[in-house]
Chains A and B, each alone.
Chain A
Amino acid sequence: MAHMAAGQTTDSTLLDSLPRKSNFRFGFLYEFGLNTTATLLPEMRSFFRANQIKPLALSAGTVNLNFGVRINRIKVMVQSQSSFFSRTVSTNNWVQKNGINSQGILVGYDVLNSFNKRVFIYVGLGGAEYNLSLYRKGVQQIPFQSVLQTPPSAGSVPSLALRNVGFAEVALEFSQREKRKASAYTATRIGYRTGMVKKAWESDVYTFTNPIKDRFSQFYVQFIFAYSLNGNRFVPFSRKPFR
């Protein structure tokens, strides 16, 4: 689609100038991210394999909501990640469902700062909870009204969880530069988070006497749609209309 600015049909002169790099000192940022993740839980996967159960695929989709501030070239983001849905995998009559929730804080610095793009390097800390349930498919016929009284089939573990997993995180972000006081932009963030200590698997149903321990770690690629409010003073935004 052709765009012709007012007056552009007249001859271009040497007074014409290209826009300068935007230089808003502050910004409030709101981000919505869709993630492809690969979550590594090596001990639980070994346990499954030892019991002839094919473990869950590593990859899963999750969604992120992030908000934060940018002060010159530094960004501080609070992030919250949740599973899209409880993933289900059925192999060899075993069904596995999982879900993950995490919250954290990221601090980033833009190592590349160009007319159109910013590249941030982040470090962060956070906490995560990973839930897993496991059961065997069956064909036993029971009246629905007695389902609560029927014991589950052997091997069913309705609740397995890694809780209070503290993790450290590093990430690299390729982001569009904000161009206006109110800017929408896209970004891509690639990150890795790893549990700081091994955590024991827990259950809401049982109290394990000798639980296996896992070190949670996760790779992710996050595609971000974002909105930012930018200015040169920290709280000037309500006083002037946005352009």
Chain B
Amino acid sequence: MKAMLILLSLMVSIGWRAEEQPRSEVAKVVIYRQREFDGGGYDLKLNGKLLGYLPQNRFLKVTIPTGRVKIESEGAYLSDVKMVFFTAEQGQTYYIKAVEDIDFMTRALLMARVSEEQAKRELSRIKPMETAQTDQNHD
């Protein structure tokens, strides 16, 4: 009985540690905005967690877990929340272009996935935005 309890606690302990390990399956996402006249900044969230702040003419490059991903944009004042969903696969890099859309008494940061070719062409003159996990290079 005692041996079984020790074995059980050992298994739970190993299982717990395994869950604490960082996930090895990761992908990357690059979210960017081109230069806009008088464009405001927006907070970006990844699966509900704050990812960073994205003003115009900046990009964020972050590591994301594989699987289904939800990215949200949210401004400060009279702004709508916009979302983009995709399924991230191991080792892939995803490019998302964001554009601020201003209308009467409202604004939002629209986002859409774009091809790597288009993104690299448009990213050539855009500066990186600092975050805890930002990678300074976009390629």
Binding site for B on A (CB under 8 A): 1-4, 8-14, 16-19, 112, 114-117, 119, 174, 176-177, 179, 183-186
Contact = CB atoms under 8 A, between A and B. Distances in A.
A185 B85 contact: no
A14 B113 contact: yes
Contacts of B115: 14
A112 B104 CA distance: 19
Contacts of B87: 11
A176 B114 contact: no
Contacts of B112: 12, 16-18
Given A1-B81, A117-B102, A179-B103, A18 B110 contact: yes
A202 to B, nearest CB: 44
A114 B36 contact: yes
B54 to A, nearest CB: 15
Interface residues of B, number: 29
A11 B85 contact: yes
A117 B102 CA distance: 8
A36 B2 CA distance: 85
The secondary-structure label for the interface of chain B is strand
Contacts, number: 73
Interface of A is mostly: loop
Contacts of B84: 8, 12, 16
Contact of A116 (B81, B86, B102): B102
A185 B104 contact: yes
B16 interface: no
Contacts of A11: 68, 85-87
Interface in B56-108: 68, 72, 80-87, 97, 99-105, 108
Contacts of B85: 8-12
Contact of A18 (B81, B99, B105): B99
B38 interface: yes
Contacts of B111: 12
A127 B101 CA distance: 39
B37 A112 contact: yes
Given A3-B80, A3-B81, A11-B87, A19 B110 contact: yes
B18 to A, nearest CB: 29
7 contacts: A12-B113, A13-B86, A18-B99, A115-B36, A115-B99, A119-B37, A179-B103
Nearest to A179: B103
Contacts of B38: 116-117, 174
Contacts of A115: 36, 99-101
Interface in B1-51: 36-39
Q: Which 9 A-B pairs have CB atoms at the shortest separation, nearest pair first?
A: A116-B102, A184-B104, A16-B112, A2-B81, A114-B37, A12-B84, A11-B86, A12-B113, A12-B86
Contacts of A177: 102
Nearest to B108: A3
Task: Name, among A3, A12, A119, A183, the residue most crowded by chain B CB atoms within 10 Å (CB to CB).
Answer: A12
B97 A18 contact: yes
A117 B36 CA distance: 9
B101 A19 contact: yes
A116 B101 contact: yes
A176 B103 contact: yes
Contacts of A183: 103-104
Contact of B113 (A16, A112, A174, A176): A16
Nearest to B102: A116
